Amino acid sequence: MDSFNITNIKIQKANAFKKHNKIQKIASLFRLIEIGLVLALISRFSIQLPVAVRNSSEYFKDLTVTLVSPQFVFVLGNVIVITLFAKSGQFSCQSSNGKNSSTGLYEEFVEKSQGAHQYEAGCGEKQVTYVEYITEDNSTSLESKTYNRSQSEKSKRPKQ
């Protein structure tokens, strides 16, 4: 009975090798068919490639003519301006916090300019500068500084 098991195993092994060889032959056949299809597609596309390049070049020439035309540039410029105008929030009369945008801009300017203000008055030989300081509690102080011209800047005209 032991010899019967050994011969049975040998038969199963032989059948597995036959099955494996069949699968390898079928895989080889599919590889050959695949290579044939790839070569056929390459030859087909190589014939159509010059026609495709010519058609696409004509398309891009027409597209270039359209993009450079004055009407397209005008429309594109207007679209950009309208987009920027819409993004700036100028379509709505009031901003999101309820204040008018021009009033908000004025208030921002006033806050930033509460530092030093300078007023200059020049006359002949001396120049006087008045500096007004505004503090946080809205009290003001006024200082004046006098500047004299240096001697080298004076030029005399020859008498004629």
pTM exceeds 0.75 for this model? no
Model pLDDT, residue 54: 86
Distance between CA atoms of residues 22 and 15, nearest Å: 11
Q: Which amino acid is at 115?
A: G
Task: State residue 122's pLDDT score.
Answer: 47
Residue 140: the pLDDT is 66
Closest to 88 in 3D by CA, of 107, 111, 104 = 104
Both tokens of residue 153? 């800047």
Per-residue pLDDT of the chain (160 residues; tens, 9 = 90+): 566 777 888 888 889 999 999 999 999 999 999 999 999 988 888 888 788 888 888 888 888 888 889 999 999 999 999 999 888 876 665 445 555 556 777 787 777 776 555 544 444 555 666 666 666 666 666 666 666 666 555 566 666 5
> What pLDDT is attached to residue 51?
83
- The helix (run of H) or strand (run of E) holding residue 20 is helix 2-68
Helix pair 2-68, 70-87: axis angle to 10 deg: 100
In this prediction, residue 111 carries a pLDDT of 77
Dihedral, 119, 124, 127, 128 alpha carbons, nearest 10: -60
